[in-house]
Amino acid sequence: MIIHAITFYTFSSVILISAFMVIAARNPVHSVLFLILAFFNGAGLFVLLGAEFLAMILVIVYVGAVAVLFLFVVMMLDIDFVQLREGFLSYLPVGALVGLVVLVELVLVVSQAGVDLSAVAIAAQPTPDVAVRSNTAALGDFLYTDFVYFFQTAGMILLVAMIGAIVLTLRHRPGVRRQVIADQVGRKREQGVEIVTVKPGQGL
């Protein structure tokens, strides 16, 4: 138990420090690297809880896709971050209000106001034996039986969001010939066939 406690406090400390450095670092590339470090330590906490599937998803999805994609976007785009920070003080009152609300919520959570004792008892129960049934199988049963419609709805929303992002970021440069499916399907015979009368002895 001592090793588990030391590991938990180590991962938690690194997560808190990394989260602070994400918003405190001046270089946006360093912020993304600290965010990746926080994701890895969060995956370590999931492993301690016996949720290895969530740990794997956190590393593959967030570190392998979201964080790396954001890192490439920050490094490849020529963004003037000094100009973006010029209007920081104008958003300070709104940010302070949001921070105050979050602080009050954290105080309520820490003080255990309105905690369901049954939920605490369930959380205190040990994780099931992996040899009997892994949490991956349990999550699969819940997702594809009880919550299958919500799962499919979330997939459709993500698909629409992906198509919308592609449409919004698609740029048509002048002078570049592109394939237009609607024009090809709606093409008439007069647009593709030209009848030319050639007289004898003359060429085209």
Q: What would the two tokens of residue 125 be?
A: 């129960």
**Amino acid, res. 185:** V
Is the pLDDT higher at 59 or at 1?
59
Residue of 53, 75, 179, 51 whose CA lies nearest to 126: 51
CA distance 32 to 71: 6
Domain ranges of the chain: 1-79, 134-172
Kindly list the distances between the CA atom of residue 168 and the CA atoms of 76, 84, 156, 171, in Å, as whole numbers in the listed order: 19, 22, 18, 8
**Per-residue pLDDT tens digits for 94-143:** 878 888 888 887 777 667 555 555 555 555 555 555 556 677 787 788 78
**Are residues 178 and 172 in contact, defined by beta-carbon separation less than 8 angstroms?**
yes
Contact 28, 76 (CB under 8 A): no
Q: How confident is the model at residue 153 (pLDDT cuts 50, 70, 90)?
A: very high
pLDDT at residue 114, rounded to an integer: 53
Long-range contacts of 52-58 (CB under 8 A, 24+ apart): 52/135, 52/136, 53/134, 53/135, 53/136, 53/139, 54/135
Which pLDDT does position 6 carry in this prediction? 84
Pick the CATH number of 1-79 from 1.20.1250.20, 3.40.630.30, 1.20.140.160, 1.20.120.1200: 1.20.120.1200
